[in-house]
Amino acid sequence: MNPNSKESLTDFGYTEVPTHEKSKKVAEVFHSVAARYDLMNDLMSFGLHRVWKRFAISQANVRCGQTVLDIAGGTGDLAFALAKKVGKEGHVILADINEKMLKEGRDRLTDRGCVSNISYVEADAENLPFADNSMDCVTLAFGLRNVTDKSKALASLYRVLKPGGKLCVLEFSKPILPLLAKIYDAYSFKIIPKLGEWISGDEASYRYLVESIRKHPDQETLKQLFEQEGFEDVDYYQLTGGIVALHQGFKY
């Protein structure tokens, strides 16, 4: 990059990259980890990611016949649960910006017999290719921190929701207990990248994922971003001492 260039920069973990390059770099990370993504999630979180996701599904409160978008849906674990909730009369769209992650999700859900009420779309959260007011609910689990422009993504999610629709964002956040924060930092930076190296042969990608969590807005800041983009009745739940938070907001 020309040092005299005035091109805007954005964070990619603890480094800065030209804004237009971040989505490509994030795609490379997930292309690398897609095949063992769920296994690594189980190992890194001691299986807690499944508990967090079940809670998110319960709070989404989707009903039979509804249309639900699961953006950054990855390997499809949320989409699978949502598809059972909406039934044959409903429809779940599993969307992800990363082609390899989307293929992984489609293959897994097809193997589980989910073919009639799930469709698959390669899509960017900042520029969703769906009609205004078309979704009853949108879920986004562990993907918002990888988005280049979070405000733009939230505006795009708001646009596609129907009036009365709900957005649920499950994401790593900031531990609220000082001792827990110290333990969490030590585990994140010393253990997780090594797990990534041993299991996936990719320490760098998991170091980025750890760094991206630290760069993500805290609970109150993310709540304010929701409100700035028009969401109402915004609230959040602290999970596992604030290591994860579930934010939700409504479009009225």
Examine the pLDDT at 196 and tell me if it is beyond 90: no
Q: How many CB atoms lie within 10 A of CB 24?
A: 10
Please check whether residue 235 is in contact with residue 43, taking contact to mean a CB–CB distance below 8 angstroms: no
Q: What is the band of 44 on the pLDDT scale with cuts at 50, 70, 90? A: confident
Considering the chain, what is the average pLDDT of its residues? 91
Average pLDDT over residues 120-144: 97
CA angle (246 as vertex; 74, 194 as ends), nearest 5: 55
* Per-residue model confidence as pLDDT tens digits over 161-184: 999 999 999 999 999 999 999 999
Residues 21-250, CATH architecture? 3-Layer(aba) Sandwich (3.40)
Q: 132-171 in b/e burial notation, b at 16+ Cβ within 10 A?
A: eeebbbbbbbbbbbbbbebeebbebbbbbbeeebbbbbbb
Joined together, the tokens standing for residue 222 give 């993310």
Please check whether residue 172 is in contact with residue 243, taking contact to mean a CB–CB distance below 8 angstroms: yes
Q: What is the band of 121 on the pLDDT scale with cuts at 50, 70, 90? A: very high
Q: How many CB atoms lie within 10 A of CB 220?
A: 10
